[in-house]
Amino acid sequence: MTVITCQNVTKSYRSYNVLNDIQFDIKENTLTGIIGRNGVGKTTLMKMIAGYTEVDAGKLEVFSENPFNNLIVSSNTVFIDDTMTFPESMTIQDIFKECKRFFDRWDNQLATRLSTYSGLHPKTKPYILSKGKRSIFHAIIGIASRSPLTIFDEPTNGMDAVVRKDFYRALLKDYIAHPRTILLSSHHIEEIENLLEDVLLIHNQTILFHGSITDLQERFITLMGTEQKLGNYMDSDDVIALQKIDSYVTLTMKNRFTEQEFEVMRENGIHVSNVSANDAYVALTGKSKGGIDDVFN
Amino acid sequence: MLEASSSKPIYLQIADWLENEILEGTLSANDKVHSQYQLAEIFNVNPATAGKGIGLLLEKEIVYKRRGLGTFVSEEGHEKLLAERTEERLQKKINALLEEAKRLQIDYEELLQLIEKSHRQQGGEEN
């Protein structure tokens, strides 16, 4: 079943075009990473899906409904980011109580246990928490709500490395036990690539890639060797990143090779290695052929 | 165990890990293999990725599926793995040997003599 359908959707802020004619579908119970550079419209897209902002043009459907101002969508969706606000008079336990009333599948026991584990006192008011602790509190609401559509916009902002790891682990465990559709945005793809099933990569107002994380990893290959040996490949249109130090060249390029061709390369002293999803992302969205190195040359 | 920094895709690493479990005898014929959800928890990866690892072994018929019960090691799984790995690794070594001989300008006849000599020295039977 498809949970989100996005057809020819366009969104601008005044004259600034954020998303242009994008399309994709999100299947039920997948965990998808929304990936992109700063300011490419990840938050805008997720806010449209959650029904917070309206699309300018095109068709966006969530649970087969137009999400904007829609009760069915909002009662089945939770949107977590670091700007969530709660009435200042409410304590953590008060908020959990309200969550229980609002979210059908809310697991209060899980929320309480995660809070205790994270050192959050039930009588604390969230606005006095540090940035990191507040992020933890928001993340707990996101996990314990068990919403059929759970959206995390940069949930680990402000969390330290240990907490981030715990958060991803908790999310994975609860997702395995209670599958639901999850969107997770981050610019730290290396932290989440093993957690994801799919990736939606946004770049230059469009969807640059939407597919499984393994497809993204296998789409590219890195070749390393001397300029003399790699000369044949360097001019190819398939090259997406090239680094040259003296005569030693590192190429990241589209993987159109067979295993036999790799064998031949290895025999010729070319080092062949796979590309992580993060490297593929950096190569795809960075400056092609030359990057930061060129600034110094 | 798995290495996040390894350039090998994680599902291939999971497939390798399962193959080693079978080769080392931790999993015998008709034993139940970890489910994709167990593997996901063990290796901290998405269940779909873990499922791809199991899928590779299914394709090679090293494991088989029983509807509603799970995935099990096939009768000939261990042997298939032995054959596959031997073939793959031995073949690679032979190729490397031929390459090296070429580099040293040793022709094929000479190489065969060298192999026979080594074989005799190791107490092998003479042809």
pLDDT tens across A255-290, in order?
889 888 888 888 888 999 888 888 888 878 876 555
Q: Which residue does chain B place closest to A173, by CA atoms? A: B41
Note the pLDDT tens digit of each residue in A61-92. Answer: 999 999 999 999 999 999 999 999 999 999 99
- Contact between A149 and A62 under an 8 Å Cβ cutoff? The reply is yes
Read off the tokens for A84.
């969530």
The pairing of strands A248-254 and A57-62 is unpaired
Does the ipTM surpass 0.90? no
Asked if pLDDT for residue B117 goes beyond 80, the answer is yes
Does the beta-carbon distance from B4 to A194 stay under 8 Å?
yes
Q: How far apart are CA A198 and CA A216, in angstroms?
A: 9
For chain B, what percentages of helix, strand and coil (3-state, to nearest 5) are there? 60, 5, 35
Average confidence (pLDDT) over B38-65: 95
Give this prediction's pTM: 0.84
Q: Which residues of B44-67 are buried (b: 16+ CB within 10 A; e: fewer)?
A: bbbbbbbbbbbebbeeeebbeeee
Does the beta-carbon distance from B46 to A169 stay under 8 Å?
no
* B100 CA: distance to closest CA in chain A (Å): 10
Does the beta-carbon distance from A218 to B49 stay under 8 Å?
no
Domain ranges of chain B: 10-75, 78-121
- pLDDT on residue B92: 81
Average confidence (pLDDT) over A136-164: 96
Does the beta-carbon distance from A196 to B46 stay under 8 Å?
yes
The DSSP secondary structure of A3-20, one letter per residue, reads: EEEEEEEEEEETTEEEEE
Average confidence (pLDDT) over A177-185: 97
Q: How far apart are CA B127 and CA B125, in angstroms?
A: 6
- Please give the residue that has the higher pLDDT: either A38 or A129: A129
Q: Tell me the angle at which helices A161-177 and B36-43 cross, rounded to the nearest 10 degrees.
A: 170
- Contact between A78 and A144 under an 8 Å Cβ cutoff? The reply is no
Asked if pLDDT for residue B96 goes beyond 50, the answer is yes
Q: Which residue does chain A place closest to B36, by CA atoms? A: A176
Query: Can you name the CATH fold of B10-75?
Result: Arc Repressor Mutant, subunit A (1.10.10)
Q: How confident is the model at residue B5 (pLDDT cuts 50, 70, 90)?
A: very low
Q: What average pLDDT does chain B have?
A: 88
CA neighbor of B76 nearest in space, from B92, B91, B60, B87: B60
Q: Choose among B4, B9, B37: nearest Cβ to A176.
A: B37
Q: What average pLDDT does chain A have?
A: 91
Asked if pLDDT for residue A293 goes beyond 50, the answer is yes
